[in-house]
Amino acid sequence: MRKDFLLTCAIAAFAMQAPVFGEAIIEIRAVRLNDAPIPGTTTLAVSPGDKIEAEFILLTGWGADLPDGIRGAQVIVSGRLGATSGGNGRVLPLGWDAPLDLIGCTIQQDCPIGFLCSAGQCQGASHFPELGASIDENRPDFLLFGEDVLSFIGVTTLNYRLGTSDRVTGQGRIDDRPEVYLGTYIVVVSDFACGTFTFTGITESIAAISELIGPDGLTSVVPTFVPLELDTGACGPIPTDTSGSLNCSLDARYPHPINSGSPVFAENSFVLDFDVSPVGLSASDFAAFTFLPTFFPPVTISSVQVQGTTATVTLNGQFADDKWTCIRHLDTNRSFCRGNLPGDSDQNSVVDLDDIDRLLVDLDPPTLVDGQPYIPLDVVARDIDRSGTFGPLDLLASLNLLGGSGAFSPGYEGASLNLACPSTPAP
């Protein structure tokens, strides 16, 4: 019988949603740690760098006479949720070297820092997601052992899909095995990971139901999952961005007020919030860098001030023009960046007349734009003259930037920061 016909039959059986044939429980069970066998378990203490091999095990047999017909199973693992469910870091399928959610691209600039545009998607140099899942059809405890099996594995997203089906010849036998094997899932714990990462199956929506086809080929059941929990240990203080830091924003203001006798430098500090009080935090807990690199003078951390759960990290100088200036929290490897691009009000990394248009809209803001509430610009994007308030003079200051004024030579229009922000705090 042709495989494509069998797959069509299997899909049709999946779609029938007939009455269930009994309870089904699927356990996601860790069986190997760093390639060494371990007793099967659904809870495991792990460390950054560990590789964990898990199996999907159906804990209830078919428990009935097996007539001729179609049977099979499909499992969809909550990889996206599992990968980000800890406190910090990631637990990703072996071979997954791409953004958490695949990003389409046509040119290299479409991709985040560190990823290449390959085959229309942003990928790392070692993106081989097929390494993270497999189905061993030769195991005696495999669901369809001894049958002419059609297996399929989907790895286009982090929600890996494993399935198998075929037409079977029951010949009146009873499958009373207490548990059967459905597939293998392999993950790797990232550096700086902490907290508990939980992987389970997706069962919430019709489009993503994991099902089992009963022995008569007409019945199905949505299984209950026993999740796999990987404990990487307690997390220390974890930083996040605050409104005072404006991570990955571009400062559109003059470096100092026009005609000021005492020039006020541009921003030179980051304001971070921590999940718990970072008592004892100091400059040695951070590293500072620019992108592209600036070799002279080097950017350094001059001070760290903690108040409650908030920390203000001050640099030894103002954010560099036309570059990203960043700090990295060493314990968690989380980076926070700000760009300095005077005149770029609309935050598109280019100074042009569109920035004037954006300021004009903010001067007389609409209530809705395309049916959504209008969101005004941040202070660093519209207070061009650094007066502390936004008004018509900021429009004049922006025009001065385009034509040349003060410290800026004529023709500042077209200045750009065309490199993606290298910050990495978000999932």
One pLDDT digit (tens) per residue for the chain, 427 residues:
434 433 434 433 333 333 344 578 899 999 999 999 999 999 999 999 999 999 999 987 555 555 566 778 889 999 999 999 999 999 999 999 998 988 889 988 788 777 889 889 899 999 999 999 999 999 999 988 888 889 999 999 999 999 988 876 656 666 778 899 999 999 999 999 999 999 999 875 444 456 777 655 566 777 889 999 999 999 999 999 988 788 899 999 887 666 666 656 668 899 999 999 999 999 999 999 998 887 778 889 999 999 999 999 999 988 887 889 999 999 999 999 998 888 899 999 898 999 999 999 999 999 988 889 999 999 989 998 888 889 999 998 888 888 776 655 555 678 888 787 888 655 5
Residue 269, CA atoms < 13 Å, CB-side half-sphere = 16
Instruction: Tell me how far apart the alpha carbons of residues 195 and 47 are, in angstroms, rounded to a whole number.
Output: 10
Q: Tell me phi and psi for residue 88, to 5 degrees.
A: -160, 155
What's the pLDDT score for residue 155? 94
162 secondary structure, DSSP code? E
Closest CA to 422 of 248, 273, 268: 248
CATH of 239-403, one of 3.40.50.720, 2.40.110.20, 3.40.50.2300, 2.60.40.1130: 2.60.40.1130
Give yes or no for a contact between 265 and 256, defined as CB atoms under 8 angstroms apart. Answer: yes
Whole-model pTM above 0.75?
Answer: yes
Strand partners for 51: 188
CB 213 within 8 A of CB 182: no
Q: Backbone dihedral region of 393: left (phi > 0), alpha (psi from -120 to 50 degrees) or beta?
A: alpha
Strand partners, 373: 368
List C-alpha distances in Å: 177 to 60, 149, 174, 211.
Answer: 7, 19, 9, 19
Task: Say how many C-beta atoms besides its own lie within 10 A of residue 29's C-beta.
Answer: 20
Report how far residue 33's alpha carbon sits from residue 50's, in angstroms, rounded to the nearest whole number.
Answer: 7
pLDDT value of residue 171: 61
Q: Which residues pair with 180 in a beta bridge?
A: 58
Any idea where the domains of the chain sit in the sequence? 3-231, 239-403
Contact 159, 76 (CB under 8 A): yes
Prior bond to 410 cis, omega within 30?
A: no
Task: Specify whether the CB–CB gap between 336 and 247 falls below 8 A.
Answer: yes
Instruction: Establish whether domains 3-231 and 239-403 are of one fold.
Output: yes
Q: Are 61 and 143 in contact (CB under 8 A)?
A: no
Cβ burial of 107 (10 Å; 0-12, 13-18, 19+) is exposed
Q: What class, spelled out in words, does domain 3-231 have in CATH?
A: mainly beta
Instruction: Indicate the DSSP class of residue 77.
Output: B
- Is the bond preceding 292 in cis, omega lying within 30 degrees of 0? yes
* Bridge-based pairing state of the strands 51-58 and 180-189: antiparallel
